[in-house]
Chain A
Amino acid sequence: MNRAQLSPDLQNLRASLPDLLGTLQANPDWYVSIYLEKKSGLNFSANLRQTQISDSFSTGVVLRVYDGYSLFEQASDQLDRASLQREAERLVKRVRDSKPDAAAQKRPYSAPTWQERLSMELDPEIRSQIPANVQAKTPVHFGIAFEKDPREISTETRIAHLKSLLSRAQELAPQAGLENGELSFVLVRDTVSTEESIFVDGESNLSQSLIRIARTVVLMSGSERSAERIGGMGGEEGIELTDAKLLSMLKELKGVKNALPLAPGRYPVILGPTLSGVLAHEAFGHSQEGDTCARGRSMAWDLFHSGEKVGNEHATILNNPAIYKNGEEKIAAWGSYFFDEEGWISQKQVLLDQGVLRSPMTNLTSALRLGVPRSANGKRESWAHGVYTRQTNTYFSAGTKTLDDLMAMMGDGYIALHPAGGMEDPKGMGIQVGIQFLEEVKNGKRTGRVFKGPSGGHLQMTGYVPDVLASIVDKSKIEADSKTPDAVEHPFNDAGGCGKYHKEIVHAGCGGPYMYMRDVLLG
């Protein structure tokens, strides 16, 4: 197994950062830190008309001062020493010129030492990369593990492979019942990016190199669509696309073309892993984001204190940026990393334990405002954006049943596998989970009939979160097709994205087991 190494240019930059800390530390009461990020990626795509490539690059530094009242950041992509020094001086002046509200409460902060960090429960993938006798100034590097480096595959080879997948989709179309010409649009896209970051404060000097890889397939017939994105953090081995998968997508497309409109109402439904993850993400993912709690915008904070139950015994939701083997896949989950963008090391966290809320996820300022422990959830869209409390991989804990068991328990109902967005309502506790289409189940077996929304579009599952979480009947194992005990530790988390207050788009994984739910309101 290989591990991603830090780029040489970042190694050079890293050496200059401790000096800048000295400039930022103009007041001994301040907590100062530096976050440096470099993202470079290639996007290869092929459709029936053309093949194309885009090559993206972004690098920038965020100089940070927390004065006990506010977090001040100065962000720039000018990384030469003189520019960094100038930006540091600008930031110091800005902080000195600021005047907190006279009624504001001061909440000082000091960074944890390595001794404190190592006393926490850490995943072996993390612990094994921390040098023995680590000290505040010891450079500590974390690299994602991979078998086959996707960055070493030539452009020619990758484009040829994408074109072969296009051809294969067309060849397999008749097997799915699609006639000649019915497959009107096919797109196959590979994205390979390297995401590196450095975090330095008075107690630590961290770096990480991650490889994000994804393969997207879109099949269309007229306005109907079947789409899939597979991927995660690691090597090329994470995006293998088999003929069986392509054929399954083509059959879905054929099904969607003949879909019937569902009459609005309440139905028994089995949510697939991705959709159970979207439910987790929207239900007590967003409302358990510490900054939303600190702003007084989440009911979860009140319910955490009251201890009131908001779900049944199956309602256990976790957030975990430390999933380095995603379900049965060969690579790490999409929302994983080793430390967040404020230097906090990744750990698994239970957000909802059998219907009872636990402490929220946090970034630095929300942890201080709420007086709760920090977690590794300080994330931003890029170095040019602000840091918020954000989810990483959010999922329900696994159950004990197989998928066949759940379908037999349900008898008649629907199975929903493909998401179409979602939306939270942390204060009002409403929820919206978008579903592309439903497959009918009769007598515990799939009938092959497909249903879409009442207007021919996506369906929306809505409701009051505590009611929805009280309606979980049972959950599957992680390896839902096998009766033997799960051999893997974490449920599968799909590759997704997440917005905060309608903007600030970040990568997020969401997943879990299959979940059988009764009385699901669909429209």
Chain B
Amino acid sequence: MNWEISDLKAKLKSQTEILGWVLNEENTHRFERYFMKDQKAFATDQDREVRAQTLDLRIFVDNGKPGRQGEITKRLHRGAPLDIQLSSAIAAAQQTDHQRWTLPTEIPSSLPERKSFDPSMVEDLKGTLDRVTEQVTAQAMKQRSTPFHSSELFLSVHERELHLSSGLTHRSKNTRAYLEAAFSFSDGKRADEYLSTTWSVDADGLGIEQLFDECSERAKLTLDTEKPLAGDYWVLLDSDVLTSIFSQTLPQLSGRMEYLSLPHKKKGDSFIPDARGDLLTIRLDPTLDYAAGTTTLSDEGLLQRPMDLVKNNQVVETSLDHQHASHLGRYATTSNGTWVIETGSKSRDELIASQDQVLEILQFSGLFVDLNTATFSSEIRLATLHDRKTGKKRTIKGGSMSGSLFENFKEAYLSNQAVKKMFVDYGSAHGYYGPDYALISQVSVAS
């Protein structure tokens, strides 16, 4: 019963009700290994290989209403008859109601090459897996002052083909690598642990030795801790936290939010009202080498280019895909990319030395960020309280912190070193390239 993409495209072209379509085919090849210490042995608990193919079709149909159209997104099944799947999709789409728009008719003539995948993973995924496994094994078995417990390693290659009713066909590749490690520390009566996780586009970007070293060292800090005193603090956030906060609040700079009357920022707005300190400059960049948001085309077939969104705290542009640009009567801009935040002027140590007390967050338990209110909160899993007057550092665990992008970043200072970060949330990859630290003000801590 299998049918080919060419059969599907021919059917789509022949259906008069269909106004346009977007077809995404993705082939995934993934390896997963779960490692753990089993008494003296370095054991593989699970060893998996996955091959998957998905075919997602989005069609726009005439629903008989002036200025409106129907739409459906459907995952097609190659094992089922094509005609039945297509006719049911058209019938369902005709029941829906959207403002009418059309895909761009202009096809980009030449497309730049962008580094969105790790060539070694694409060429030999199993070989890369074995090479990285050796490195992970060596790090896990290395003699350290804290015991290793477990690790997970995932490597995957995603090959995509985009087909549009405008005639455009585009092939692209992505790679994803994930590594975690857990170390614990015990004084005979009590025990605690530290879990480090990292995502990367390329296997070498995992930074295996650094991840294991940092995880082990931080595990050692976990027992000699105290609770914070309740109050407002200058807080130093690292790039993992900044990635999470920015990637989950910057969608307020998108035209989709404006179209749906959801909280959003408009061109000309102050991004953070009454901001002082280091003013934010934010860019959406789809061209960075081996970054999570690196892509050539949007799903609508538009070439994606670097774009300034915020300059010195002023919103200069919003992110608009072609659909929402059409709805809002504007031109489309860039809608895919890595969030790039311009660095500041001070080093991490200078940021810490700039205030009497600085609470440096080493890890939150679970940072929850609310897109609509741009607020964030979490229990403090591990932190260091730096006291300039006494020169002492105390390790903190417990209590909770709550903050707001639009309040606590009013007076914020950014570090002068840029780092590239990636994290995957509910299957979507988010990218960040910006300061490795930010010092933010007046953050409430409960204890």
Contacts and interface: CB of A to CB of B under 8 A. Distances in A.
A438 B36 CA distance: 42
Interface residues of A, number: 92
A407 to B, nearest CB: 24
Given A462-B398, A523-B444, A77 B96 contact: no
B168 interface: no
Interface string A421-432: 111010110111
A122 B318 CA distance: 57
A53 B96 contact: yes
A90 B49 contact: yes
A16 to B, nearest CB: 13
Of the candidates A9, A155, A431, the one having the most CB atoms from chain B within 10 angstroms of its own CB is A155
B376 interface: yes
A476 interface: no
Interface stretch (A94-102, A142-150, A232-240, A310-318): A94-102
Nearest to A60: B52
Nearest to B72: A53
Interface in B69-104: 71-77, 79-80, 89, 91-93, 95-99
A521 B446 contact: yes
A401 to B, nearest CB: 29
Interface string B181-207: 010100000011101010000000000
A79 B1 CA distance: 12
Contact of A387 (B46, B192, B372): B46
Nearest to B195: A501
A294 to B, nearest CB: 7
Given A427-B192, A503-B424, A505-B426, A49 B259 contact: yes
Interface stretch (B3-11, B112-120, B346-354, B377-385): B377-385
B184 A71 contact: no
A384 B50 contact: yes
Given A53-B92, A76-B52, A185-B261, A427 B193 contact: yes
A420 interface: yes
Contacts of B28: 384
A155 B91 contact: yes
Contacts of A453: 375, 377, 402
A250 B264 CA distance: 22
A88 interface: no
Contact of B365 (A47, A79, A302, A430): A430
Nearest to B444: A454
Interface in B403-422: 403-404, 407-408
A49 B99 contact: yes
B373 interface: yes
Interface stretch (A218-226, A268-276, A331-339, A508-516): A218-226
Nearest to A366: B45
Contacts of A427: 184, 191-193
Nearest to B98: A50
B41 A104 contact: yes
Contacts of B365: 423, 425, 430, 432, 462
Contacts of A49: 99, 259-261
B184 A455 contact: no
B221 to A, nearest CB: 12
A414 to B, nearest CB: 14
B150 A428 contact: no
Contacts of B36: 294-296
B47 A9 contact: no
B52 A103 contact: no
Contacts of B180: 501
Contacts of A400: none
A297 B403 contact: no
A305 interface: no
A459 B377 contact: yes
Contacts of B92: 42, 53, 55, 155
A69 interface: yes
A75 interface: yes
B149 A462 contact: no
A225 B263 CA distance: 11
B236 to A, nearest CB: 18
Given A185-B261, A425-B381, A460 B52 contact: no
A129 interface: no
A505 B426 CA distance: 7
Contact of B96 (A159, A225, A265, A387): A159
A505 B93 CA distance: 29
Interface string A455-466: 111111011100
A103 B446 contact: no
A523 B261 contact: no
Contacts of B408: 455
B32 interface: yes
A386 B32 contact: yes
A265 B374 CA distance: 23
A502 B47 CA distance: 20
B133 to A, nearest CB: 11
A304 interface: no
Contact of A53 (B93, B195, B259, B403): B93
A264 B445 contact: yes
B368 A420 contact: yes
Contacts of B38: 101, 104-105, 369
Contacts of B93: 53
B39 interface: yes
A453 B1 CA distance: 56
B399 interface: yes
B392 interface: no
B402 A57 contact: no
Contact of A73 (B46, B95, B261): B46
- Most chain B CB within a 10 A radius of its CB, from A184, A220, A431, A454: A454
Given A423-B365, A502-B197, A454 B376 contact: no
A75 B375 CA distance: 40
Interface in A55-78: 55-60, 69-78
B273 to A, nearest CB: 14
A103 B39 CA distance: 8
B290 interface: no
Contact of A523 (B48, B191, B193, B401): B401
Contact of B372 (A90, A100, A225, A462): A225
Nearest to B152: A501
A55 B193 contact: no
A102 B41 CA distance: 7
B105 to A, nearest CB: 23
Given A455-B403, A521-B446, A523-B400, A101 B184 contact: no
A355 interface: no
B46 A71 contact: yes
A160 to B, nearest CB: 9
Closest 5 CB pairs of A and B: A523-B446, A457-B375, A423-B366, A264-B446, A432-B379
26 contacts: A51-B96, A53-B73, A53-B92, A55-B89, A57-B74, A70-B47, A72-B47, A94-B47, A103-B39, A184-B262, A264-B445, A264-B446, A297-B184, A302-B191, A386-B48, A421-B368, A423-B365, A434-B377, A454-B446, A455-B408, A457-B376, A460-B378, A460-B400, A462-B399, A501-B197, A523-B377
Interface of B: 28, 30, 32, 34, 36-53, 71-77, 79-80, 89, 91-93, 95-99, 147, 149-150, 152, 178, 180, 182, 184, 191-193, 195, 197, 222, 230, 259-263, 365-366, 368, 370, 372-379, 381, 397-404, 407-408, 424, 426, 444-447
Interface of A: 9, 42, 47-60, 69-80, 87, 90-91, 94, 98, 100-105, 155-156, 159, 184-185, 220, 222-225, 264-265, 291, 294-297, 299, 302, 365, 369, 384, 386-387, 420-423, 425, 427-428, 430-432, 434, 453-460, 462-464, 501-503, 505, 521-523
Given A91-B49, A296-B37, A459-B377, 17 more contacts: A49-B99, A78-B51, A264-B444, A296-B150, A384-B28, A386-B46, A387-B46, A420-B368, A430-B379, A430-B397, A432-B365, A454-B444, A456-B375, A456-B404, A457-B373, A457-B403, A503-B424
